[in-house]
Amino acid sequence: MVCAAISVAGGPATSLSRRPALGLHSRRLLWARATSQYTMSRVAPRLSSTMVGAPTPDHDEARAGAQGVPTSTGVKQALISLSDKTDLASLGNGLQSLGFSIISTGGTASSLEAAGVNVTKVEQITHFPEMLDGRVKTLHPSIHGGILARRDQEHHLKALNEHGIGTFDVVVVNLYPFYDKVTSGAISFEDGIENIDIGGPTLIRAAAKNHKDVLVVVDHHDYPALLKYLQEKQADPQFRKMLAWKAFQHVASYDSAVSEWLWKQTNSGDTFPPSFTVPLSMKSTLRYGENPHQKAAFYGDRSLSLVNAGGIATAVQHHGKEMSYNNYLDADAAWNCVSEFENPTCVVVKHTNPCGVASRQDVLEAYRLAVKADPVSAFGGIVAFNTTIDEDLAKEIREFRSPTDGETRMFYEIVVAPGYTEKGLEVLKRKSKTLRILEAKRSGKNMLSLRQVSGGWLAQESDDLAPEDITFTTGSERAPTDSELSDAKFAWLCVKHVKSNAIVIAKDNCMLGMGSGQPNRVDSLRIAFRKAGEAAKGAALASDAFFPFAWKDAVEEACENGIGTIAQPGGSMRDKDAVDCCNKYGVSLLFTGVRHFRH
C-alpha cells in the first residue's frame, strides 16, 4: 500500500486516496486530472514552448535540478531523428546556438552528444524506452501532440497543458535506407520488412501537415537555409510550404519504393499492378522543350526496377553544351539501337531514326560506312558506338569529311559510347566546344515502357526480341543463302528501331537505306531504295509489319529493284500473293512471325 501526493505549482498538494500501486498509464491519468485543477506555471526544463508536466514531481524536480535549467516557458524545441547523419553536427550546434533544446533518438542522440550538443532523449519525454526492437520510439502522444497542435487554437494548447505535452518548432527527420537496402543485392523478405520505416514517415507527415507552426526538414542540403531562416527570424510562409511539400514528396517516393518491392514479392507473374507510382526526381531544367516556346525539364526515374538499368538517363556528360529536350530523345534512340549489337557497331541517328548502321571488326570502318549510308541526314546527328572510343577513332570522328563532297568536316550534336580512353576523350573534346560527349551503360532489358496519352498512360513490356529469339521461316521456293539470311537478320534488327511504317535495306552488316514514318509502306520502301541506290541489288529488305498487298505494290516493286531477300512478319490475308510474287522474281521470302511497330 502506498500513499501518493502530487504537488502542483500555484496550489496545495493534492492527496490521492490510499490504493494499491498503480501502473504508469493509471498514474498518468491521475496526474492529468490533478493538474487540470490548477493553472500550471512550471514546466519541465527543455520540454515545451507552451506548458508541460510530468508523471511525478520527482521527475520534474530531478530534471530541473540535474540540468540546472529554470522551469520557465518559452523553450524552443527541435526534434532530430536521422538515418543519414550528413552534416548533423553543424545542424545540432547551429540549433543549439539559436537557443533550441534538442530532442533526439538512439544513434542520432549519440552522434549529437559526440559533437558537443546537449541532447534530451525521446524516452525522457515519453517515459517509455524504445520497444519492440526499435519499432516503437516516437509513436507517442507526447511527441505527436507537440508536433500536431495548432498554436492558434486555444483548445489545442489547453489539451497539451492538461496532458503535460510540449510543442516542437522544428522537426528534422530522414528515413531508414530502404531503397539502398533492397537494391544492394540479395536481401531476405524479413530483412526488407524490417527496413520499412514507420515512425519516421509519421513524424514527417505530422510536421508537414502542421507546417504553419513546425519547420520540417528531410534533406541535409536544406540545413543552411533552415538555420538562416531561424537566425534572421524570418516569417516567410512560402519557405514553410516548400519544406512541407518536400517532406510529403520524400515520403511519397519512399512509399513508392516499398510498394514496388512488395508487389514484386507477392506478384512475380503479373507485370502490371492495378496501380503504381513512378518516383521521378528532377535532374535538370532544360532550355526549352521540342520547341523554344515550350518549357521543359529532365527527370530521373528512381523505380527499383531501373537500378543499374543503364541508359541515357544515367549517362555521364564529359564535354559540350547542356543537353536539350531533343538531344535526350535522339541520344536515347541512338543508344538503344547500338546497344542491341554484339559486334563493334556505329549507329547514326537523326530525329530518333537510325539513318546509318554498320558493324565491322574495325570500328573505324563501321563509322565510315554508317555515315556513308546517309551523309546528308548524318550531318548534325547523333553518333553512337558500342565500343570504347580510343585515340584513333576519336581522330577519325574529328577529321572525317562528308562523303557528299569530300571536304566538309562532319558535324555532330552528340557522341555517345560506353567508354573513352584518356587520349580519345582529349582528342574528341577538341572537335568542338559544343559537342556533347556522353558515356553510358548498356540499356537494360525487360523494362516497363510508359508513354503518355491525354489523360492517361500506356504501359507495355519493352520490345527486347532480337533476331536470335525469332525463327525465320522460308515461305518462298528459294531459300536464302547463309549470307542472305545474315543480311536479313541485320536488316531486321535495324528496322526494329525505325519509326513505322519502316523499311530497311542492308547488306554485309551495313544499312544501305531506310524509309520511315510514312503513312503507307510503299512510300517508305521508295525512300529506302532511293537512299540505297544500285547497292540495293542482291541486298536484304526488312519490313516492320506485313505487306497488305504484293502485286503492283511494295513486294513487286522491291523484287523489280533487284532485292535478293525480303523479311517480314507475315499475317496478311494476302501472304500467298507475296509468296507468289517472290517466286516469280526468284526472291527469297522470310516470315518472322514477329512485328516491330514503333510509333
DSSP string, 365-397: HHHHHHHHT-HHHHTTEEEEESS-B-HHHHHHH
Q: Which of 127, 351, 423, 584 is catalytic?
A: 351
Strand runs labelled E in 185-292: 215-217, 280-286
User: 516: Cβ–Cβ under 8 A, 6 or more apart, which residues?
Assistant: 353, 498, 499, 500, 501, 502, 503, 524, 527
Directed axis angle between helix 141-148 and helix 199-209, to 10°? 30
Residue 209 bears catalytic tag: yes
Residues 6+ apart with CB under 8 A from 332: 311, 312, 352
Taking a C-beta distance cutoff of 8 angstroms, is the pair 65, 47 a contact?
A: no
**406 Cα distance to chain centroid:** 44
Residue 410 gets which letter from DSSP? Answer: P
Query: CA–CA separation, 515 vs 355, rounded Å?
Result: 9
* C-alpha–C-alpha distance, residues 104 and 119, integer Å: 7
Q: Using CA atoms, how far apart are residues 583 and 478, in angstroms rounded to an integer?
A: 7
Inter-residue contact 393 to 385 (CB < 8 Å): yes
Contact 131, 105 (CB under 8 A): no
Amino acid at the residue 17: S
Whole-number Å distance between alpha carbons of 61 and 65: 6
109-142 residues labelled b (16+ CB within 10 A) or e (exposed):
bebbeebebebbbbbebbeeebeeeeeebbebeb
Q: How are beta strands 170-173 and 215-217 bridged, if at all? A: parallel
Question: How remote is the C-alpha of 356 from its chain's centroid?
Answer: 31
| Cβ-based neighbours of 190, under 8 Å, separated by 6 or more | none
Q: How far apart are CA 34 and CA 13, in angstroms?
A: 10
Sign (positive or negative) of CA dihedral 167, 172, 175, 179: positive
Q: How is residue 213 written as a grid cell?
A: 507552426
The answer for 372, left when phi > 0, alpha when psi is -120 to 50, beta otherwise, is alpha
* CA gap 182, 262 in Å, rounded: 11
CA distance 416 to 395: 15
Cell numbers at 470, concatenated: 525469332
Q: Which of 76, 209, 395, 441 is catalytic?
A: 209
Q: What is the longest distance spanned by two Cα atoms in the chain?
A: 114
Cis peptide before 501 (omega within 30 of 0): yes
Q: Which positions ≥6 away from 300 have C-beta within 8 Å?
A: 280, 281, 282, 283, 313, 314
338 Cβ partners below 8 Å, 6+ apart?
Answer: 345, 346, 347, 384, 385, 386
* Active site (catalytic) residues: 209, 351
